[in-house]
Amino acid sequence: MSTYFNTTEVDSAVVRLAGAYPELTRLIELPEPSVEGVTCHALGLGAAPDGNGDGHKGCVVLTGGIHAREWGSCEILVNLAADLLEAYKTGTGLAYGGARFGSAQIRDLLDNLSVIVFPLVNPDGRHYSQTVDPMWRKNRNPAHANSDPACVGVDINRNFDFLFDFTTAFDPAAGPRVSSDPCDYQTYQGPHAFSEPETRNVRWLLDTHPATRWFIDVHSYSQDMLFVWGDDENQSTDPTQNFRNADFDGKRGVAGDTAYREYLPEDDANTAATLAEQFCEGVHGVRGVRYRPMSGFHLYPTSGTSDDYTYSRHLADDGQRKVHAFTIEWGKEDPRSAEASFHPPWTEMKRIIKDVDAGLIQFCLAALQT
């Protein structure tokens, strides 16, 4: 790899890995093509999977490429899969700068954890970003644009089913980063939750892998490891303050107040913080870069995001298994331009890939102990 993948190359890399390591992988075809007709693939990693690929092992689902302009997310996940598979097959460890993982750790990881890598959720948006508008973030769905080319697209990471009716859920002063305006360039949420095939594909992946216990969505930028919640600050004392309770509509999203804080059980809060810290330690071990573990709200208030939806599933439906969910924000702001922040020079992106992949391996090894 000498530069960023184009859309075809991302998917081809996934398919080629499945062909090169048939005994260790499962190629997963997502059920819905994109609006422009692109079929997406995920890759299941793990030695001798049972049944649907999970058996009694826990499963971690890793997604990337939801936001079109965040090019390096795809490369991070493809490289992770390639490195893990080769290290497992050859019986060697992995080294990323100063971060080192022994052969026994790699074998333990893939023998006891099912890893699902879905590196390119939004192929149409990525193609448009790489060929027309480098700062494009959304998908390319024209259905909600009323024939206005400037109003094409939905922000996939605002289209999940979590506090989707943000104008009702949030305090008017909260200002969550989401919009109901189809012509909003960045954060249009769509007409309803799961209106988009890309979002439904992620939901399908979770539904069809019921052993999933961890979920990470890879984004950029700000050098953070985010855990739930994104709608308000967390608290573990008052369970009535939760996203399902309409009594608190109009009160969410204001920092530092006492009117509302999203309930997160203490055990889950501790687990989320521990795993986020383990990821950050893995990153730091490569070349000393420091990422911050914190809740999504402390980046900015949001609704309809992949991580909040994924964790909230077991609270909204008793039949769902609890999934600890996270969002990585790799890389940092480049003072030259926003475009340079999202598309670091390839020499730097290669370093970031090593940082984040080391963090992900450290996360997975820690997850096995929870």
Residue whose token pair is 């149409």? 124
pLDDT averaged over the chain? 95
- Dihedral of CA atoms 186, 187, 188, 194 in degrees, nearest 10, equals 120
* Pairing outcome for strands 113-118 and 41-45: antiparallel
**By the 8 A CB rule, do 38 and 7 touch?**
yes
- Whether 49 has a pLDDT exceeding 80, the answer reads no
What percent of the chain has a predicted confidence (pLDDT) above 70? 97
Q: What is the mean pLDDT of residues 271-297?
A: 98
CA distance 95 to 36: 39
What percent of the chain has a predicted confidence (pLDDT) above 90? 93
3-state SS assignment for residue 100: strand
Task: Please list the alpha-helical segments (H only) found in the chain.
Answer: 7-20, 72-90, 103-112, 123-131, 166-169, 197-207, 266-287, 306-316, 338-342, 346-367
Tokens representing 340 are 């340079």
- Whether 228 has a pLDDT exceeding 70, the answer reads yes
- pLDDT by residue (tens digit) across 3-44? 999 999 999 999 999 999 999 999 999 999 999 999 999 999
Q: What is the mean pLDDT of residues 212-225?
A: 97
Task: Tell which residue, 136, 160, 149, 157, has the closest CA to residue 182.
Answer: 149
**By the 8 A CB rule, do 221 and 331 touch?**
yes
CA angle 104, 11, 144 (to 5 degrees): 125
Q: What is the mean pLDDT of residues 137-166?
A: 96
**By the 8 A CB rule, do 241 and 262 touch?**
yes
Q: What is the mean pLDDT of residues 314-339?
A: 94
* Pairing outcome for strands 58-64 and 41-45: unpaired
212 DSSP β-pair partners: 59
Question: At 50, is the pLDDT very low, low, confident or very high (cuts 50, 70, 90)?
Answer: very low
Tokens representing 135 are 């700062």
pLDDT of residue 51: 42
CA distance 36 to 209: 27
Task: Tell which residue, 170, 165, 167, 163, has the closest CA to residue 251.
Answer: 170
CA distance 263 to 303: 15
Question: At 57, is the pLDDT very low, low, confident or very high (cuts 50, 70, 90)?
Answer: confident
**By the 8 A CB rule, do 146 and 193 touch?**
no
Neighbours of 245 (CB within 10 A): 12
Query: What are the distances in angstroms from CA 303 to CA 56, 178, 214, 243?
Result: 33, 7, 20, 11
Q: How far apart are the first and last CA of the chain?
A: 35
For the chain, domains (ranges, CATH) are: 7-367 (3.40.630.10)
Residue whose token pair is 């480049």? 334
**By the 8 A CB rule, do 62 and 360 touch?**
yes
pLDDT of residue 73: 98
